[in-house]
Amino acid sequence: MEAHETGHHGACKGLRSQKMRKESLRVGFLGASTVARKAWLAVHRAGHRVTFIGCRDASKGRELAERLRKNIEADNETKKAAGVCAQQSFVEPSIGSYMDVVRADNVDVVYISLPTSKRPAWIRVCAEHGKHVVSEKPAATSAAELVECLRDMASSRLLFIDGTALSHSQRLQDVCRAVAQLGGPLHINAHMSFSASPSFMANDIRLQPLLEPYGALGDLGWYCIRWILHIVDFVLPTGVGGRVTACNALQEESIDGAANGTTSSASSAGASEVAAVGASERRQSKRSAPAAITEFEGNLEFSTRAPTLKDVVPEAAAEAAETITASFRCSFHDCHDQTIDIFCRDGTVTVYGAINPTAEDRPHFVTQHHEVVAASATAERQQSNTAGATEAFEGYEQLRERNDVVYSTAPEETDGAHQMEQLWRDVGDSVMRLGKGEPLIADPDLAKKWSTFAYLTQVVMDRALEAAGQHVHNATTSSADA
């Protein structure tokens, strides 16, 4: 179950009817981070190809390419051994600056894994150069900033998808259907955490608010909010509460051209491009940074008709909850946990490994269907041993059915269980050409869906932060301008 579009315009139908067959996309990377290594293999398995790497240090780009060459060759051998047709062989990508990637003729889609505070500028530059974008999340430092980016993309018929892989998994759709079959959600609890090492707390970019202003909220909290929104079919909450429960001390951050992700080639670009990457930020300096959020708790309330089984199977008549509540906690201090508990009218759904399931921790969820049955005659009246009072029981709940749904992670599987691969398949499915030689444009309905997911998640995250009385992204702007 995903957000339902309000309608299909005739023009959109006409566009889809003319859509040509899918093609292998050429992907350019901005950044050579750890997450970029994960994304590259997913791009490959989805049938696309990385053609360009943009990074500050060319040697890091070459190192990334060499590492992925070995991974892709090993992946192809594994598939052959399993009797599955291997994907295309590795092709050496070009290495250059960020602006080289954006300007390249052999790049259709730009994948942005730069720090959050730098993503909006590069999204706008990509829009200027007609490039589709897959950006890591959050894509901006505020919902208002993200709206401007999405407008630029939409006006050029370009696709924007954030890098929240869980939104593309088959498991998510199955979980939402299971929730509907159990009568719809009443309360959702999301908990995402890990126990960060001292090295992580001292060095990780998520602890540098000038680059990653949301801290744990923008990292683990984003996943909590996205899961909750999927379950309530992407309606906005009517009530939002938030509380920063832990943060690190105020600190000084070194902000220079390297940290900002700017390059000399960007400096030699046109005036609009120079503005986009922020030429003034290339001065090396020490800036006082706000404390980084390392733990956050939020509460949401939705006044809506929740999706139920009748939304999936029209003849069903399950009742809907009028008010749904949700709570979430994200922490860099708790034990490792990625659990979603969904309490429904007729049972519960529990999702394990909700962000990044692995072959060892396979993606799965558990449903428990409860039903109220009449109490037996002998149990209708029961004497209390403690107070001597008589308690009347007219009925009780019993577990009618329990299902543990586990998904395969075998290398030959291509059914969407590998959620990051499915993300890149969805990228390919969301763009089209209207004719031979025509530009690659976004499918309007799919582009609207994916951008709406990103925008609503950002809106809820911003409201939770505001409710906590923390304006980290505003503080970031103030200190950067000082």
Task: List, for residues 272-329, the tens digit of each pLDDT value.
Answer: 454 445 444 444 445 566 899 999 999 999 997 645 555 555 544 445 448 999 999 9
Q: Is the pLDDT of residue 479 over 70?
A: no
The residues near 146 (Cβ < 8 Å, ≥ 6 apart) are: 120, 138, 139, 140, 454, 455, 458
Q: Is the pLDDT of residue 65 over 70?
A: yes
pLDDT category of residue 33 using cuts at 50, 70 and 90: confident
pLDDT tens for each residue of 453-465 = 999 999 999 999 9
User: How do strand 94-96 and strand 132-135 relate by DSSP bridges?
Assistant: unpaired
418 class by beta-carbon count within 10 Å (0-12 exposed, 13-18 middle, 19+ buried): buried
31-50: average pLDDT: 91
Q: Is the pLDDT of residue 17 over 90?
A: no
Tell which wins on pLDDT, 363 or 182: 182
Q: Are 50 and 40 in contact (CB under 8 A)?
A: yes
The pLDDT score that the predictor gives to residue 324 is 97
pTM, two decimal places? 0.81
Q: Is the pLDDT of residue 173 over 50?
A: yes
Q: Is the pLDDT of residue 159 over 50?
A: yes
The pLDDT score that the predictor gives to residue 211 is 96
The pLDDT score that the predictor gives to residue 37 is 87
The pLDDT score that the predictor gives to residue 474 is 41
245 class by beta-carbon count within 10 Å (0-12 exposed, 13-18 middle, 19+ buried): middle
Q: Is the pLDDT of residue 396 over 50?
A: yes
pLDDT category of residue 8 using cuts at 50, 70 and 90: very low
Q: Is the pLDDT of residue 225 over 90?
A: yes
pLDDT category of residue 394 using cuts at 50, 70 and 90: low
The pLDDT score that the predictor gives to residue 374 is 65
The pLDDT score that the predictor gives to residue 481 is 39
Q: Is the pLDDT of residue 114 over 60?
A: yes
Q: What is the mean pLDDT of the chain?
A: 81
The pLDDT score that the predictor gives to residue 439 is 95
Tell which wins on pLDDT, 381 or 137: 137
The pLDDT score that the predictor gives to residue 103 is 98
The pLDDT score that the predictor gives to residue 471 is 44
The pLDDT score that the predictor gives to residue 14 is 44
User: How do strand 323-331 and strand 293-303 relate by DSSP bridges?
Assistant: antiparallel
pLDDT tens for each residue of 408-458 = 765 544 444 489 999 999 999 999 999 988 999 999 999 999 999 999 999
| Percentage of the chain modeled with pLDDT above 70 | 72
CB count, 10 Å around CB of 95? 20
Exposure on the CB side of residue 221, measured as CA atoms within 13 A: 33
Nearest to 341 by CA among 178, 463, 215: 178
The pLDDT score that the predictor gives to residue 98 is 98
The residues near 45 (Cβ < 8 Å, ≥ 6 apart) are: 75, 87, 418, 421, 424
pLDDT category of residue 64 using cuts at 50, 70 and 90: very high
Token pair listed for 381: 């009246």
| Percentage of the chain modeled with pLDDT above 90 | 59
The pLDDT score that the predictor gives to residue 164 is 97
Domains (range + CATH), the chain: 10-167+417-455 (3.40.50.720), 169-255+290-406 (3.30.360.10), 257-289 (no CATH)
Tokens 């007729």 -> residue: 346
The pLDDT score that the predictor gives to residue 358 is 61
Question: Quick one: CA dihedral 61, 77, 27, 205, positive or negative?
Answer: negative
